[in-house]
Amino acid sequence: DVKVTQSSRYLVKRTGEKVFLECVQDMDHENMFWYRQDPGLGLRLIYFSYDVKMKEKGDIPEGYSVSREKKERFSLILESASTNQTSMYLCASSLAGSLAEAFFGQGTRLTVV
């Protein structure tokens, strides 16, 4: 069965902390994505990656960075967490060069206090 796994379901961090959100997929997908979901705003793309060590900025990259050292793992990093980064974070993966659907992880609800 297809699987995208996010390391935490719920996370509470303090303002100023460095936060790592991990995502692992077992489908050998080339593409991986990080979205942020807020009420009334839908899903907004933070960063994506089409291959190992490659990354592209999405629509809202400010305050975030990413790392993709291995094909199956895509990490989202909040360099210095702020309260306006309290949100639901969703990781997804998909096959390269196709119009196939993306598969999502279960989401991480991050609260920054």
Partner 1 sequence: AQKITQTQPGMFVQEKEAVTLDCTYDTSDPSYGLFWYKQPSSGEMIFLIYQGSYDQQNATEGRYSLNFQKARKSANLVISASQLGDSAMYFCASHSGNTPLVFGKGTRLSVIA
List of residues contacting partner 1 (CB under 8 A): 31, 33, 35, 40-45, 48, 50, 58, 88, 90, 92, 94, 96-97, 99-107, 109
- Pick between residue 56 and residue 80 the one whose CB is nearest to partner 1: 56
At its nearest, how many Å lie between partner 1 and the CB of residue 109? 7
What is the smallest separation between the CB atom of 29 and partner 1, expressed in angstroms? 12
Place of tokens 């460095």: 18
Residue 37 in contact with residue 85, Cβ under 8 Å?
no
72 vs 103, which CB is nearer to partner 1? 103
CB neighbour list of residue 41: distance below 8 Å, 6 or more residues apart: none
> Cα(26)–Cα(64) distance, rounded to whole angstroms?
24
> Smallest gap, in angstroms, from Cβ of residue 16 to partner 1?
27
- Tell me whether residue 82 or residue 106 sits nearer to partner 1 (CB atom): 106
At 2, list the tokens.
Answer: 């297809």
Sheet architecture: strand order including 19-25: 4-6, 19-25, 73-78, 64-70
Least Cβ distance, residue 2 to partner 1 (angstroms): 10
